[in-house]
Structure 1
């Protein structure tokens, strides 16, 4: 007799659906089969029982930069995530000015405790200002359940130089960590931005020019060359263009251990969306920016064929007034970069990928939960429907037809770039560790139910070989 049995649903078990029951005890999946009995039952008849999603790239309650703070804290952000079928997130311990990497993680943990309604981990972040003792800081964080670090190749106050880049890669390799890289060429962006300003071309449409695909491609190539030199594991986050995707494919043929991540905005928003009047166009400003139809088509192929590993939101929540600032006519130099997406991430892919048959079930599960768990050290607890793992489940009505829009969503952000887009499929009940956080479309969980999940690093012995350990004179 199990504490809870979910009955009657179509259950997503790795590569195929099965008509079966799920028995849950002490927050974990205890049995998968038919005829299971429970002290209580949850009827999933006519619905699909999916693993809870894992969003491994999102931003919540970060320190103020550029005069604006995040609209979502860990309470509103995780509520929004849960309504979108996500049961675990891995946001960033983002540093503020004069803050160490450890201090930034401590700050994020303090902000999450007592607020989150779903489980969470944290990525570390290193910048030029987070301390010269990067190896010691990362080693300390490894003992606290952190297993990844992010660095930026652009943005004033965040971009690292090559010396620090290599120091991070070497430290991460020794710890079995993965390094997440925002790959855009900072010097090229600054050069082009100033030339556009000098020419009077400051309309929002020029954001696409200031952050061109070439700048992303060059930085991606360079980051992957650094990974090849050091033997480190790397994620290229928010891959937006066909050019960057091809750089990743080429690096893989050379044996580089690289993960490719993309986000819904690169499939569902295009460069033409910025060619609108200022305040309308501002809803579509993020970095890297939306791209050409060619890039969108290429990324869809990569999602289908397995070239892209992760589907993350890059949820960057700003109130619209903060986003556009005080400029009478918003331009690309005055509009904050970033859009919400933590709740719409899964419904978009469920509707346009899984329901349409564009994606197999296996690819959908890889993109939305399974690979995030394995890549970021959560597979011991989450990411699949399997005996022994946390009972993190999302029960979807696959026939529900609804419109994405601010009024239907739960983030504090007062706009969405997907306003009015119709989708098919909606999570109606969402469980975290066997407890309904959302039940029949109603929030049931209290802030603080979500827990910090320590993550496990990879075995450093399985890392690639750094260049100094090669012996090219012995090559056949």
Structure 2
């Protein structure tokens, strides 16, 4: 099967140029100046006209939680619905988190997540491992996970009694990562202090959703981020801070990077566009916006945009972990600490970050870099993913930069009953999506099915 994408502007992490793209079966065969393939008489089985459009590598969302167990329920998107929604939004690869239970095995956990995902995904996928129980067996299993294509391990300084690891346990895992080349990912919030603040709030009768944000102050994210960086410095391990939301945490990351330490961080669209004012919406409405770390005061947003421009924030992921407002978020009615933590977003990441381009906050190259190329490098997928180049997988998005759309639960494809961005009017829209050469989204609709494959990942290739 040969597909020609003609007349578009091909985007990369280094710039933009008019070019045509030739796809042979699942791979990109060639990229050439406009008209070269036609002039050479090369016939194609399918021709996609990208005139006036951007042609960019499919997005890579390196932080999703499909079918995630939390607080007695599960996130609303299955791997089938979540990856289909991802495709609608121009994301052609997700990396999801397999959750080790306390006392459980990493390898049996990985098997369980394969059971959820294999044969059910519309786009390609990989796994990170959540390490919640550090012991000799777990540390040995980390090596086997690497052999099985899982090269990154997430730990928590939050959620005591559930996912929380002590500094000593983190140190042990980081030493193993330094020995093997694996990457440690860190949820950096001071969970011990947060739990005390939560208990104080509940004891005083403060139970509304906004208390979730007020009991998780940004200073405690900054403190934990600094502590994680120090532990990484002691062990020599690379460190990736997930879902960074606060200026204090960003300052710690920037300082470490300036000093030459291999510290990286991601942020998420919710921290760029939403704020604690959403958590404080009337009644129980704020429960829709409960996630951890929490939404911050708006003043943090300018710092995060600046961090994206300077590359102190290397990646934009979603932390997609959707819980329906009805029946799921409502589990926390009368007690904010029982509201399932998480928000939907996998479908809108590419569009929302494109608004930064529209507003002059980001370049086109930086948009592609943060959404696709850097996550591919960071998590051992480059150059198979993250770039439009000969030999790479034909994961390609044709994007209309002038189209207008309004985000709404009525039109999104995620399996959740609300939109965190309800009524947002944005510029730009995905028109066509190819996953390994197959059109899965087009102006006529979704045709993806369940052809996504598991991606066995290499070690981090990113030194930016």
Sort the TM-score into its range (normalised by shorter chain): over 0.9
1:20-41 alpha-carbon deviations (Å, 9 max, x no partner): 1101113111111132133221
Aligned partner of 1:452 among 435, 451, 454 = 454
Aligned partner of 2:349 among 316, 339, 345 = 345
Match of 1:397 in 2: 400
Match of 2:421 in 1: 418
How far the C-alpha of 1:164 sits from its partner, in A, is 1.6
Match of 1:43 in 2: 49
How far the C-alpha of 1:458 sits from its partner, in A, is 4.3
Match of 2:218 in 1: 213
SS of 1:49's equivalent?
Answer: strand
State the alpha-carbon separation in 2 of the partners of residues 380 and 174 from structure 1. Answer: 25
Q: In the TM superposition, what are the counterparts of 1:128-277 in structure 2 within 5 Å?
A: 128=133, 132-155=136-159, 156-277=161-282
Q: Could you tell me whether the CA contact under 8 Å between 1:152 and 1:159 is conserved in 2?
A: yes
Match of 1:53 in 2: 59
Match of 2:10 in 1: 11
Aligned partner of 2:370 among 367, 371, 380 = 367
1:254-304 alpha-carbon deviations (Å, 9 max, x no partner): 322111110001011111112222321111111111111221111111112
How far the C-alpha of 1:331 sits from its partner, in A, is 4.1
SS of 1:9's equivalent?
Answer: strand
How far the C-alpha of 1:385 sits from its partner, in A, is 1.0
Q: Could you tell me whether the CA contact under 8 Å between 1:271 and 1:290 is conserved in 2?
A: yes
How far the C-alpha of 1:131 sits from its partner, in A, is 5.2
Match of 1:288 in 2: 293
State the alpha-carbon separation in 1 of the partners of residues 270 and 460 from structure 2. Answer: 30
Q: Could you tell me whether the CA contact under 8 Å between 1:93 and 1:106 is conserved in 2?
A: no
| Alignment coverage as a number of residue pairs | 455
1:209-252 alpha-carbon deviations (Å, 9 max, x no partner): 21111111110010000000001001111110111000111222
1:432-461 alpha-carbon deviations (Å, 9 max, x no partner): 1111111225111212x00011111148xx
Q: Could you tell me whether the CA contact under 8 Å between 2:439 and 2:448 is conserved in 1?
A: yes
Runs of 4+ in structure 1 deviating by more than 3 angstroms, as ranges, are: none
Q: Could you tell me whether the CA contact under 8 Å between 1:313 and 1:341 is conserved in 2?
A: yes
How far the C-alpha of 1:134 sits from its partner, in A, is 2.1
Match of 1:432 in 2: 435
RMSD over equivalenced CA pairs, Å: 1.7
State the alpha-carbon separation in 2 of the partners of residues 38 and 342 from structure 1. Answer: 36
| Distance change >3 Å, CA 59–CA 326, structure 1 → 2 | closer
State the alpha-carbon separation in 1 of the partners of residues 150 and 444 from structure 2. Answer: 33
1:324-376 alpha-carbon deviations (Å, 9 max, x no partner): 3346x4442232211000001111111x2123332112211111011101111
Match of 2:337 in 1: 333
How far the C-alpha of 1:400 sits from its partner, in A, is 1.2
How far the C-alpha of 1:305 sits from its partner, in A, is 2.2
SS of 1:229's equivalent?
Answer: helix
SS of 1:200's equivalent?
Answer: coil
Q: Could you tell me whether the CA contact under 8 Å between 2:11 and 2:365 is conserved in 1?
A: no
Q: TM-score, normalised by structure 1?
A: 0.92
1:46-93 alpha-carbon deviations (Å, 9 max, x no partner): 21111100000010123x331111211110000000001000010111
State the alpha-carbon separation in 2 of the partners of residues 213 and 441 from structure 1. Answer: 45
State the alpha-carbon separation in 2 of the partners of residues 53 and 364 from structure 1. Answer: 10
How far the C-alpha of 1:168 sits from its partner, in A, is 0.9
State the alpha-carbon separation in 1 of the partners of residues 325 and 449 from structure 2. Answer: 28
Aligned partner of 2:128 among 123, 131, 136 = 123
Aligned partner of 1:383 among 382, 386, 398 = 386
